[in-house]
Amino acid sequence: MNDSKIALPLAVVTVSDTRTEASDTSGRLLIDCLEEAGHVLHSKQIVKDDIYQLRAEISCLIADPLVKGIIMTGGTGFTERDNTQKAIQPLLEKQIEGFGELFRHLSFDEIGTSTIQSRVFAGISNRTIVFCLPGSPGACQTGWESIIQYQLDSTHRPCNFVDKLITD
């Protein structure tokens, strides 16, 4: 990798049974953040919180060689309809355990012990990184500003994930 920033094509997926494009503030925030960082929005969609719909949509994005990252928001809690973890984790070749650990550590300062109810996670499949964040804009902002922006920045040292996504 050289020292110049690489603009990655990223997809944003909101997991929700109730949000619309007009009410999807978390998805809009993530798009604004990734574009401000110099990345390119590949696609944006809202997917119902259904295990099989989620697997189908995310599988297509993982299989698309033009997508290098997927940032998901929603479906990471403990309700009956929070299916992101169950749907997506089987698709991941490698889990990034430190992502959830670090996110919950950072969130403790914002929401206290309620952070233990966050089942955020990340992983890599087919040279595509997948980050799964809670549905609130505050949580998305924390995830992006404190972790994701740095790990998708090819100039971030001592390491980042870009070299695992791009082939020379």
Rounded to two decimals, what is the model's pTM? Answer: 0.95
Instruction: For residue 26, give the amino acid letter.
Output: S
Domains delineated in the chain: 9-165 (3.40.980.10)
Question: pLDDT digits over 28-79, tens only?
Answer: 999 999 999 999 999 999 999 999 999 999 999 999 999 999 999 998 888 8
Q: Which pLDDT band holds residue 142 (cuts at 50, 70, 90)? A: very high
- Type and span of the H or E element at 73: strand 69-73
How would you classify the pairing of strands 128-133 and 121-125?
antiparallel
